[in-house]
């Protein structure tokens, strides 16, 4: 399947080892800038996706541009972090050594699906062979955080605004050499369904048992990234803030929030926002039959545009 003899990593980024089935693998030491009850680990996952796309597609995603030289960004459209097989992002701490296996497949057109399996280095699961794509989607590798990122290339359509981003293709980008995601696992469907329904709720689910409406103003001092867009990891921070707000409204202490484990995080990105934009946020929650909280969060710009929808499944100790 491989036609590129791309270097396994760029100067200044940690090197990969590439296996025969096109999984890229490396070890990462967890530092203070990579973990905690914040979105730093999520930010790392995003960088790892960009690294894996760079290695798989023979381009530099950090400097991608269209044929006219206008910047093109590898945007996150759907981001899932499943952590219910024995390792969660919340338990990662300084000095942990992780083995990260990453694979990029085509999901049609210029869009890409990147999968990461994150395990503790030395764990048995980290020593076994990498799964196929179908195997990944069983989410059953023990002690493994399963991450899927659906990415598309975008650029600004107007100067000095993050509204109205449009699709674009970087010069020299090719994905036709990549394995194609099986229809059953296409992130395109998940993304389209969540957009259509304005969330992940299905009609069969119980009605929300708690809810809250909030406002959040996008901050020029904390939320944007190095190209001035609302940073994809900030969406997770804003969602976590909404979840914490709901938590407090239910009389639960910060301690129990800090002790929670998020078994599944899903986030669909539908638009971007500018500094000072005020977001209307709706957060609702119900408890599933396993006793875990299922929390849905919807972010809208005040011009009515849907910014993002998210779902988290959260395990926590009600006595903490």
* Closest approach of its own copies to the CB of residue 258, in Å: 5
Does position 254 interact with its own copies (CB under 8 A)? The reply is yes
* Closest approach of its own copies to the CB of residue 39, in Å: 8
Residues contacting residue 58 through CB under 8 Å, at least 6 positions apart:
4, 6, 172, 174
Which range of residues in 40-48, 104-112, 127-135, 194-202 is near its own copies by CB under 8 A?
A: 40-48
* Closest approach of its own copies to the CB of residue 166, in Å: 19
Give dist(CA 197, CA 3) in Å, integer. 40
Using CB under 8 A, pick the residue from 13, 120, 167, 261 that binds its own copies: 13
Does position 170 interact with its own copies (CB under 8 A)? The reply is no
Does position 69 interact with its own copies (CB under 8 A)? The reply is no
Does position 29 interact with its own copies (CB under 8 A)? The reply is yes
Does position 58 interact with its own copies (CB under 8 A)? The reply is no
Residues contacting residue 283 through CB under 8 Å, at least 6 positions apart:
211, 212, 213, 214, 242, 243, 245, 246, 295, 296, 297, 298
Tell how strand 97-106 and strand 112-120 pair up: antiparallel
What are the C-alpha distances in Å from 309 to residues 191, 194, 214, 222, 269?
A: 10, 7, 14, 21, 7
H-run or E-run covering 226: none
Does position 318 interact with its own copies (CB under 8 A)? The reply is no
Q: Where does 14-107 show beta strands of DSSP type E?
A: 17-18, 24-29, 73-82, 97-106
Which range of residues in 134-142, 148-156, 254-262, 309-317 is near its own copies by CB under 8 A?
A: 254-262
* Closest approach of its own copies to the CB of residue 194, in Å: 22
Give dist(CA 119, CA 139) in Å, integer. 13
* Closest approach of its own copies to the CB of residue 281, in Å: 13
* Residues 82-101 close enough to bind its own copies by CB under 8 A: 92-95, 97-98
Does position 319 interact with its own copies (CB under 8 A)? The reply is no
**Signed CA dihedral, 52, 57, 59, 65: sign only:** negative
Phi and psi for 234 in degrees, rounded to 5?
Answer: -65, -30
Which among 285, 264, 273 has a CA at the least distance from the CA of 190? Answer: 264
* Closest approach of its own copies to the CB of residue 35, in Å: 4
Does position 171 interact with its own copies (CB under 8 A)? The reply is no
Residues near its own copies (CB under 8 A) are 10-14, 26-40, 43-44, 46-47, 50, 60, 62-63, 92-95, 97-98, 121, 160, 219-228, 231-233, 237, 240-241, 243-244, 254-255, 257-258, 274-276
């Amino acid at each position: 399947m491989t036609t590129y003899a791309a270097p396994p990593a760029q100067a200044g980024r940690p090197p990969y080892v590439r296996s025969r089935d096109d999984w890229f693998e490396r070890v990462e030491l967890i530092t203070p800038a990579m973990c905690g009850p914040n979105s730093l680990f999520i930010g790392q996952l995003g960088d790892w996706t960009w690294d894996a796309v760079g290695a798989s597609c023979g381009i530099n995603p950090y400097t991608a541009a269209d044929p006219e030289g206008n910047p093109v960004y590898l945007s996150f459209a759907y981001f899932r972090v499943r952590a219910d097989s024995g390792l969660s992002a919340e338990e990662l701490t300084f000095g942990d050594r992780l083995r990260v296996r990453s694979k990029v497949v085509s999901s049609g057109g210029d869009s890409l699906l990147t999968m990461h399996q994150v395990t503790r280095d030395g764990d048995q699961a980290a020593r076994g062979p990498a799964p196929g794509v179908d195997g990944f989607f069983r989410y059953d590798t023990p002690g493994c955080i399963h991450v899927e990122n659906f990415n598309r290339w975008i650029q600004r359509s107007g100067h000095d605004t993050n509204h109205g981003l449009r699709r674009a293709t970087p010069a020299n980008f090719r994905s036709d050499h990549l394995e194609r995601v099986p229809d059953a696992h296409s992130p395109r469907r998940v993304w389209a369904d969540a957009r259509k329904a304005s969330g992940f709720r299905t009609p069969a689910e119980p009605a929300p048992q708690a809810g809250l409406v909030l406002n959040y103003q996008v901050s020029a001092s904390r939320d944007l990234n190095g190209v001035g867009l609302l940073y994809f990891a900030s969406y997770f921070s804003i969602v976590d803030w909404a979840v914490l707000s709901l938590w407090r409204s239910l009389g639960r202490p910060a301690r129990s929030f800090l002790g929670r484990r998020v078994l599944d995080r899903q986030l669909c990105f539908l638009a971007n926002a500018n500094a000072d934009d005020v977001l209307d946020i709706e957060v609702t929650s119900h408890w599933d039959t396993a006793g875990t909280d299922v929390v849905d969060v919807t972010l809208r710009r005040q011009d009515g545009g849907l910014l993002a929808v998210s779902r988290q499944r959260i395990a926590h100790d009600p006595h903490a």
